[in-house]
Structure 1
Amino acid sequence: MAGVDEHQIRQSALWGHMTQVLAQVIRERPANAMDALSAASNHLLSGSAVPPTKGKMYVDPRPTARAEAPIDSFTSTRWAANTNTALAPPRPPRRPRRADGENDEEEEDDASANAGLDGQPRIDLADHPGTLSDVVMEQQYFNMVGLGLPRVEAYRLLVGLRQLIRSEPLSSVRFWGVVTGSSYDYYVAECQVDAERMQENAEMNGEGDEEGGMEEEEEHAPVSKIADVLCTVARGRLARRGPRPSTPAEEAGTGLNAMCYYASTSADPTTWTRLPDVSPHHITVARALRCRFSGNFDAAVHGHPRFMGSEKHYLRAQIARITSACRIAPVQTFTTEGAVPDAEEEEGAPAHPPPTAVPAYSVVPPLLPQEMPDEEDTDAIAAVQAWFTGYSKEELMQTKGWSHIAPSVLSCGRVTTALAEEEEEQEPADGEGENGQGDGASASEPPPPPEPEMVAPFLCDISLDAPLSYSGHSRAHLAAWTFRKAYEVEGSQTSVYVAKSLRWPGAATYAVTTTGRPGASYQMMYYGTGLKDMQGAYYAPPLPAPCCHEYVEAPGEFDGQWDCTIDEELRYAPPPPRPEAEEEEDEEEDV
């Protein structure tokens, strides 16, 4: 054929199909090879040696060149590509520049190869890997008691987390859990930011130069952009409508914002979105709402009271609430200082039990790992007997065997009390009296400080959690936690315990212990709707606040009176006017 070369013919679909047909005929060696060509062609195209005689309604009866791709084929292909990218070995470090100027051309070639499409150097964080938890092994422990994710899904999450820690300046990444939604589910990762890597990224990207350029552009902006600037300001003011939050938010790296969280959807678990830091307003409003998630980060949260933010802010608030209430560890794993106020003990008096409630903390007490006591110090070993022996006496099947390792959230939406603003000193107002001397105005006395909120002490046992009560249940109160022990082979020294929360269904923590070895390895995970248990009650949104009085009425100011009758109107009516003739006679008499 004119205009078609041999290479195009060999790359065509017809050439490939005929090659497969001839290969099948040669492999099977039928008696009549010429008649078998048609049957082999039909078998390769439609899966049947006999061509279809009657097609389906509204379907093209002609055989297609290839079968339809499976539903999950594109997903598997994308996962395979991401796996190769995430698990690729790190690049070797670049060679330092020599003083004599040799290998300049090679270094220039390396720099051009490492540069991105925009000319900026690519950020290669493979030389600074962070700590990544083993998601596959963690889910295996949960699978022992019927919880957790399947093995294939856990492996995919491991690939996605591996890609996250390489692309973001993070020092540690842990799989937090799954929050189900109507359209997609959220996969949440708990991370800790690495300050050194963040500074390196800022230097490589030149953020300082960009900020300076932005300031210069705004300062010398043309007049044609004034409308765009005004629209941007108006849009920002419109988004800030609503009640102004009075409680200041906690700084990044402290309190509820001590860790940062990334989330991805089940549609593409390799694309991660950083969730914003939580604010006290989001916590307090989320307590009054009960909205299910949709799987869209930018979806609006409808309800009363109004939630100022999108679904990603609501997701971050629920994550903070669940983490604060359900992050537990085996008892005696950590120690702290200053969690309980020191009490003066009298000599010879019996020791008082630890308090069940303490005033809210202004600073979160430090969380210190348990130190190995001296083997000869019997008193030190007795204080941490359960931890030292590896919880060999089934301590992890009781509420006293677990302790909270996260601070409680206060009613204001913080874990620490907000510092009161310093009151400005009021200067005395000078006024002249009758004697001409100025009398200083007496300063008003400040109001008494409010009583501190009482919370459970830091690192307290989960036995102090309020029990659950369901109407109509045979038991008046149910413990907030339930425990299970995984099956173990006879003679095995390793045991797996799991504690599940009933107040937040879906929150679970496993602990792996070894007989004779101090301590235990543990990890927490959540898999649920992100909503708190209602204890059998129906949700009812809070009522709106009562209407304010627009005007304070004085007593008797707007009292109604009866209308007067016709007789009363005639009694007080003015007399009728006199006729004109009588008026003229009166004037003549006067003259």
Structure 2
Amino acid sequence: MESAGAPLNNQREQTSICFKAFMLKNSTKSNLNLMTLFPNLSSYDHFARVLTKVMDERPENVVDVIEDMSHEVKRGLLLDKQSTLRDIPPSPAAQLLAEQQMLLFSRGGGDDGDQEVETPLPNVSEVGFLLEQAGVGLGREETLRVFLALKQLVNSQPLARCRLWGKILGTEGNYLVAEGEYRDEEEGINEETAEDAEGEPRDDDEETEVVEEFDTLPRSTFKPPPVVPKEDNRTGVNKFTYFVCRESGLRWMRLPTVTPTQITAARHIRKFFTGRLDAPIVSYPPFPGNEANYLRAQIARISAGTQVSPLGFYQFGEEEGEEEEEGARDSFEENPDFEGIPVPEMAESLSTWVHHVQHILQQGRCVWVNLAEKPEDDFEEEADEEVKEEADEPEPEVGPPLLTPLSEDAEITTTPPWSSKMSSTLISQFAIAVLRSNLWPGAYAYASGKNFENIYFGWGLKFAGEAYTPTFPTMPQREYTSGPEITEALDPSLEEEQALKAAMEEQKAAQDETEGLGGDEEEDDD
């Protein structure tokens, strides 16, 4: 008796015999069969997958396409892992930056190197070499690219003077800062479009008139303090114009002018730069502006505290002489008779260095302005305040004058404000004097004979001396003093309302009876 599995086994045997016959079938082109290609199949698993594909598809002249089918089987195994086998993504940002920097090394058609043309740029090779001797700088390659970018800026702007102010680091990007001064006869296009952080007051005369007709509430008598006016261009903290770019070769962006309110607010906060000029400044006290305004305020503060020069390099003009006080002088000129100070003497004594940038007062300006003065056109209420004006006249604020020696700078707790040294003690005859600011870490100055330069490389933060503690918010105002006239009473219950109503009715009835008795007595008298 045959078992149930016998027909199935016979079917499998018949199928294998047919498949072997198919494998032994010779090709009409090459006269080969699959049995001759067994040595080329690498593994049993792969061979089994290939045979399964051959059994499913049954192609014509399978011997000629067996290699292609083998490659298809291998590629099919890699499809599941294809997402993890990715090529290294290209860096379009680095490539774009390289393409932009390539333009710095191309010589323009209008650039004529044979003619002697006065240029506002400093000597690139000399400044880079001396910065390298001082132990600071950007490196030779980056320094060359930066100065080529400065040349590009000078060609696009009518500047009479331009130099590398420094580099301010940020969390997402850095700022290369260029300091420039426009020519007297020409103004830059962006010079006229500088934006102010503080807007002009809005005219609300019509709304005020409408409120006065129906206003029955008490009006506040509080008057905000007057806004300190900003200094004009080419004066004070706005004496120079500053341009920034994230990398050499990219477009230069002009920073707006700075206001006293922004400088005052920048003194109370500590924020890292992000590298985006339009980034908001989230802080307390609130800063009036974005990162571009904050960057401009920090540049003004750093310049006022760290821009120094050798003693005697600058002098006051003879015209100002004795007519003006020394504290009021705001301009100077180069001394043609300056011969230089020996380097060892400049490295040992801070008295040989002086500040040549005006000090910023607590008011946020370099020149104090009296806010108590009224404009000439305002003649109202003058009679009522004639007596108060003399008593409330503020004292003018005066800071240290220009060309003040560094030896008079105040210490920071127990840290001296400056550190000085020579670039080399082994070959002192070729060394330069190097000065480093401890008040603004990252500010350096060097001097060698008649050559000197100031530069800054840092995060744009001032040394506080101690751990920084943010300013606490102001205390909330007190509540209005409660009294019987404003104290809220509890609503009476239903029983209390009914008892009060009954008492009022009894009082009214008694009053009516009294009035009635009084009327009867009057009739009896008649």
TM value normalised by structure 1: 0.58
2:453 paired with 1:523: yes
Change (3 A) 1:141 1:324: same
How many pairs align?
A: 406
Alpha-carbon distance in structure 2 between the residues aligned to 1:299 and 1:71 = 21
Whole-angstrom distance in 2 between the partners of 1:313 and 1:306: 13
Write the distance in 1 (CA, Å) between the matches of 2:339 and 2:421: 22
Matches within 5 A, 1:434-473: 444-448=387-391, 449-469=393-413
Partner residue in 2 for 1:510? 446
Q: CA deviation at 1:451?
A: 1.6
Runs of 4 or more off by more than 6 Å in structure 1? 59-62, 66-71, 126-129, 236-240, 337-343, 553-556, 559-564, 576-579
Q: Is structure 2 residue 227 aligned with structure 1 residue 246? A: yes
2:98 corresponds to: 76
State which of 501, 507, 529 in structure 1 corresponds to 2:437: 501
Q: Report the CA distance between 1:445 and its aligned residue.
A: 4.6
1:394 corresponds to: 345
Whether the 8 Å CA contact 2:343–2:422 is kept in 1: the answer is no
Aligned to 1:172: 161
1:390 CA displacement: 3.0
Contact 1:173 1:190 in 2 (8 A): yes
How many angstroms apart in 1 are the aligned matches of 2:466 and 2:126?
36
1:319 aligns with 2:314: no
Shift of the 521–445 alpha-carbon distance from structure 1 to 2, 3 Å rule, reads same
Letter in 2 for 1:262: F
Q: Which residue of 1 aligns with 2:463?
A: 533
Change (3 A) 1:269 1:412: farther
Identity of aligned residues (%): 26
1:37-48 residue pairs with structure 2 within 5 A?
A: none
Does 2:258 align with 1:281?
no
Amino acid across the alignment from 2:279: A
> Is this contact kept in 1: 2:329–2:401, CA < 8 A?
no
For residues 91 and 325 of structure 1, the distance between their equivalents in structure 2, rounded to whole angstroms, comes to 38
1:133–1:547 Cα change, 3 Å? farther
What does residue 300 of structure 1 align with? Answer: 280
How big is each residue's C-alpha offset from its partner over 1:79-122, in whole Å with a ceiling of 9 and x where there is no partner?
123320xx335268xxxxxxxxxxxxxxxxxxxxxxxxxxxxxx
Give SS of 1:288's match: coil
Q: Does residue 1:484 correspond to 2:421, yes or no?
A: yes
**Taking structure 1 as reference, are residues 80 and 342 closer, same or farther at Cα in structure 2, changes over 3 Å only?**
closer
- RMSD across aligned positions (CA): 4.9
Separation in structure 1 between the aligned mates of residue 440 and residue 89 of structure 2, nearest angstrom:
47
CA distance in 1, matches of 2:116, 2:443: 35
Q: Cα gap change, 1:505/1:59 in structure 2, threshold over 3 Å: closer, same or farther?
A: same
* SS of corresponding position for 1:447: helix
In structure 1, the partner of 2:37 is none
Q: Whole-Å Cα distance in 1 between the matches of residues 273 and 202 of structure 2?
A: 22
How far 1:421 sits from its partner (Å)? Answer: 3.7
C-alpha spacing 1:55/1:77, structure 2 compared with 1 (3 Å): farther
* Residue 369 (structure 1) aligns with: 334
Q: Which moved more, 1:555-564 or 1:274-283?
A: 555-564
d(CA) in 2 for partners of 1:319 and 1:488? 33
Shift of 1:77: 3.2
Q: Is the counterpart of residue 58 in structure 1 residue 82 in structure 2? A: yes
Task: Give per-residue Cα distances to partners, 1:38-90, cap 9 Å, x unaligned.
Answer: xxxxxxxxxxxxxx9x989537989x9x9978984543333123320xx3352
Q: How does 1:20-419 map to 2 (within 5 A)?
A: 57-58=81-82, 72-84=94-106, 87-90=107-110, 130-198=119-187, 246-266=227-247, 269-336=249-316, 361=327, 363-372=328-337, 388=339, 390-391=341-342, 393-419=344-370
Secondary structure of the 1:196 match is coil
The change in CA–CA distance for 1:71 and 1:336 in structure 2 (over 3 A counts) is closer
Instruction: Provide closer, same or farther for how the CA distance between residues 275 and 389 of structure 1 changes in structure 2, counting only shifts above 3 A.
Output: closer
Q: Which amino acid is the alignment partner of residue 98 of structure 2?
A: S
Q: What is the CA-CA distance between 1:407 and the residue it aligns to?
A: 1.1
- Structure 1: stretches of 5+ with no match in the other structure: 1-51, 93-125, 212-235, 344-357, 373-386, 430-439, 470-476, 514-519
Corresponding residue SS for 1:403: strand
Q: 1:283 to 1:558 in 2, by over 3 A?
A: same
Letter of the aligned partner of 1:505 in structure 2? P
Q: What is the CA–CA distance in structure 2 between the aligned matches of 1:544 and 1:360, rounded to whole Å? A: 40
The answer to which of 303-312 and 73-82 deviates more is 73-82
CA displacement at 1:464 relative to structure 2: 1.3
Give CA-to-partner distance per residue, 1:192-241, whole Å, 9 cap, x none.
10243448x89xxxx9xxx9xxxxxxxxxxxxxxxxxxxxxxxx89999x
The structure number with the bigger radius of gyration is: 2
Q: Deviations over 1:431-456 (max 9, x none)?
A: xxxxxxxxx98954523321222422
- The 3 A distance-change label for structure 1 pair 160 and 245 is farther
SS at match of 2:448: strand
Q: 1:197 to 1:407 in 2, by over 3 A?
A: closer
Structure 2 unaligned segments of length 5 or more: list them.
1-74, 194-198, 204-223, 518-522
Partner SS for 2:452: strand
Q: Tell me by how many angstroms 1:414 deviates.
A: 0.4
Task: Measure the CA separation in 1 of the matches of 2:384 and 2:475.
Answer: 38
